[in-house]
Structure 1
Amino acid sequence: MSVELTYVIWSAFLGLIYLGVQAMLFRLDFGFRYANTQRDIDPPPPNKWNKRGQRALANFLETYGVFLALALATELSGRSDNLTVWGAHIWFWARVAFLPAYFIDINQLRSSIWTLSLIGLLLMFIGVAF
């Protein structure tokens, strides 16, 4: 299995971690009783941690489709090279670091990690497209 496909598998697990963190924070904020309902009534505004969990998951999902498309295009085209491999490494590990960084209040840390993950996607794109 290629490095890129290996990261596709592990990124699915990472996505489950993001989802689990978001779901746990939602339940801690609104309670298990409300979380297990149809949610026909509007809850009060979410607390800071719940909002961060929601935004972190949304941010992961925004780049996840691009990563999947690039990884699969790399595999199907047989164009895996150092750029695509490094890009997959960088994207994945930046996304691992991004989740805790979203909850740590260090100025510019989260944005820097996000930029690093974007660089990983750009490397993959260049590797597979050119």
Structure 2
Amino acid sequence: MTPELTYLAYSILLLFIVVMIQASANIRQHGGLVLANNRDNLPASNTFPARAKRNVENLRENLWFFVPLVLIAAVANISNQWTILGAQLFFWARVGHAVIYLAGWPVIRPLFWLAGIVACAFIFLAVLGILN
């Protein structure tokens, strides 16, 4: 397996972890029995569960940039220092973003988001043959 696909697998594991954090936070707030029902009249989430949900949504949205690029590179048999750097940077930027988002630290979170976007740009430009 290429390093890019390995970091894709790590990124999916990260998604699983942040989903479990969100689920745990909701269970702590609402209780497991309430969440096992239809949730039609579920009260609004407190700060941390709401933040955890936004964190999950943000990671899912960003995976839509990363996953296809890594798969295109794999199918095209493109793996170079730029695709590897892009995959590594994306994963670690998303780990940092998740920690910062869940902690509620302001201002620096968008920098980690931007690093993930730059990482995807590296892979995209390598797939196009612009970065070799």
Q: Please, what TM-score do these two structures have when normalized by structure 1?
A: 0.93
Match of 1:70 in 2: 69
Shift of 1:62: 0.1
> Which residues of 2 match residues 95-106 of structure 1 at below 5 A?
95-106=94-105
Distance in 2 between residues matched to 1:80 and 1:99, nearest whole Å: 27
| 1-structure distance, mates of 2:9, 2:17 | 13
Question: How far apart in 2 are the matches of 1:31 and 1:54?
Answer: 16
Match of 1:94 in 2: 93
Aligned length: 129
In the other structure, the counterpart of 1:25 is: 25
- How many angstroms apart in 1 are the aligned matches of 2:67 and 2:15? 12
Aligned to 1:59: 58
Q: What is the rounded CA distance, in whole Å, between the counterparts of 1:64 and 1:78 in structure 2?
A: 20
Counterpart residue identity of residue 113, structure 2: W
Partner Cα distance (1:86, 1:50) in 2: 33
- Offset from partner CA, 1:79-126 (integer Å, 9 cap, x none): 211111100000001111111100224331211111111111111111
**What amino acid does structure 1 have at the position aligned with 2:72?**
A
Structure 1: 5+ residue runs without aligned partners?
none
User: C-alpha distance in 2, partners of 1:79/1:22?
Assistant: 35
Residues 5-56 of structure 1, C-alpha deviation per residue, up to 9 Å, x if partnerless?
11122122111101101111111121112111122x3211110001101000
- Amino acid corresponding to residue 31 of structure 1 in structure 2: G
TM norm structure 2: 0.92
Structure 1 CA distance for aligned equivalents of residues 56 and 67 of structure 2: 16
The within-5 A match list for 1:1-40 is 1-39=1-39
What does residue 50 of structure 1 align with? 49
Q: Contact 2:55–2:101 (CA<8 Å) still a contact in 1?
A: yes
> 2:111 & 2:84 partners in 1: Cα distance?
21
Q: Runs of 4+ in structure 1 displaced over 3 angstroms?
A: none
Q: What is the aligned partner in structure 1 of residue 118 from structure 2?
A: 119
